[in-house]
Each structure stands twice: as structure tokens, then as C-alpha cells.
A and B are shown apart, each in its own frame.
Chain A
Amino acid sequence: AQSVTQPDARVTVSEGASLQLRCKYSYSATPYLFWYVQYPRQGLQLLLKYYSGDPVVQGVNGFEAEFSKSNSSFHLRKASVHWSDSAVYFCAVSIGTGANTGKLTFGHGTILRVHP
């Protein structure tokens, strides 16, 4: 069964510092890959997605992610974080085929806290 692992439950950084949130997936084929962000008491917002092509994808608010097939990873990065980036970040994968083509499997999330 496919799975998504976000090894860092919590990450704390200072405002202006660079950021990397890790995501590893386990699946035999290359799935569709997503990063979502959840602000307190809100739904999920899409940051970026990867289907194919250039392994580095750009997202909203200065976020980018890099897909690595050899490492089965899809790490999220930002060059300089702002205090408003404090939120929970979820990595998710989708098979994209089969009866439930939209079945997203989520990681457990990484709580990001940015010190002002």
C-alpha cells in the first residue's frame, strides 16, 4: 500500500531563515504529488503539485518543491520564511488511476512555527 512519511512532526525556524520540510513516499510507480497548507481552524490550501517533467516545481507564496525519483522524495523549500507561514503542512500523493482516481493519501503533517 502506498504511504507518505513526513519525518518531522514539528519544525521551528526564525523569520527570514530558509526552510525545508521533508516528505517521502512509498509507491512502486511515480504518483502525483502535492503539498497543502492548513492554517489554524481552516481547510487545506494547495501550495503546489507535481505530475511530471521538471523535478522542481514552483508554488504560491515563494514555495517550491523538488521531486526525486531515486529518493522517493518530494521536499518543500522556501528561501526566506515569514511569521505568517506558521501553519501545518501536509504532503499528499495520488495514484491517479483505478476506480478511486482521486484517492489522496496524506502524511501526518509538519507543524511549522516561525519566530518573528
Chain B
Amino acid sequence: AQTIHQWPVAEIKAVGSPLSLGCTIKGKSSPNLYWYWQATGGTLQQLFYSITVGQVESVVQLNLSASRPKDDQFILSTEKLLLSHSGFYLCAWSPGVDTQYFGPGTRLLVL
């Protein structure tokens, strides 16, 4: 069975500080990977997607970047956090043109 893990569970960071969030998928080779952002009480917005290692496409510009250094790993990062980056970050995977399965999420508070 496939499992998806996100780290850290939660972060409190200062404005202007760097950020790195991680996501790992086990039990599935070459998955499609996605990053979503959810404002508190809001809907989900897709940020990035990746079809293969080393290739990441940006969907929305939020002063964030993403990388896929390994087949099973997806990283979301920024060098300078903004207050508007606060929210819930969700990683998801899919086998292709199919259902997306979400991780447990990382809650980020920027002060």
C-alpha cells in the first residue's frame, strides 16, 4: 500500500525567514506529485505539480518554489517568508490521470 508522509507537522516562522517543507511517497514508483495551499477556512489551491524527477511546473505564483530531487520526494521552499504564506500545505500524489491522494498536511504560521 502507498503511504504519504509530510514534514514537519507544523511550523511557526518569522517573516523573512527561509522555509522548507517535505513530502515523501512510499509504495508507488513515478507518481505525479502536487503541492496545494489552503488558507485558514478556505479552499485549496494547487501550487505546483511534477510528472517526473527534476521537473516541476508552477501553477500559481506565491513567491514559493518546489523541487523533486528524488522520485518519491517533493520539496516546497522559499528563502523569505511572507505573512501571506500562513496556512495549510498539502502534498498529494496520483498514479496519473486519476484520483489524487493527500498527505496529512503541514500547518504554517508566519509571524
Binding site for B on A (CB under 8 A): 32, 34, 36, 41-46, 49, 90, 94, 96-97, 99-104, 106-109
In the assembled complex, how far is the CB of residue A22 from the closest CB belonging to chain B, in whole angstroms?
A: 15
Known: A102-B97, A103-B59, A104-B100. A90 touches B43 (CB 8 A): yes
Whether B34 and A102, one on each chain, are in contact in the complex, defined by CB atoms closer than 8 angstroms, is yes
* Binding site secondary structure of chain B: strand
Q: How far is A32 from B97 in the complex, measured between Cα atoms in Å?
A: 9
Whether A43 and B104, one on each chain, are in contact in the complex, defined by CB atoms closer than 8 angstroms, is yes
Whether A100 and B49, one on each chain, are in contact in the complex, defined by CB atoms closer than 8 angstroms, is yes
Whether B104 and A103, one on each chain, are in contact in the complex, defined by CB atoms closer than 8 angstroms, is no
Known: A42-B104, A43-B104, A102-B34. A90 touches B44 (CB 8 A): yes
Binding site for A on B (CB under 8 A): 32, 34, 42-46, 49, 57, 59, 90, 92, 94, 96-97, 99-105, 107
Whether B49 and A102, one on each chain, are in contact in the complex, defined by CB atoms closer than 8 angstroms, is yes
Whether B96 and A34, one on each chain, are in contact in the complex, defined by CB atoms closer than 8 angstroms, is no
Residue of A45, A90, A103 near B46 (CB, 8 A) is A103
Q: How far is A95 from B82 in the complex, measured between Cα atoms in Å?
A: 32
- CB-nearest residue of chain B to A49: B99
- CB-nearest residue of chain A to B95: A102
Known: A43-B105, A49-B99. A106 touches B59 (CB 8 A): no
The 6 closest A-B pairs by CB, nearest first: A44-B102, A43-B102, A101-B97, A108-B43, A106-B44, A43-B105
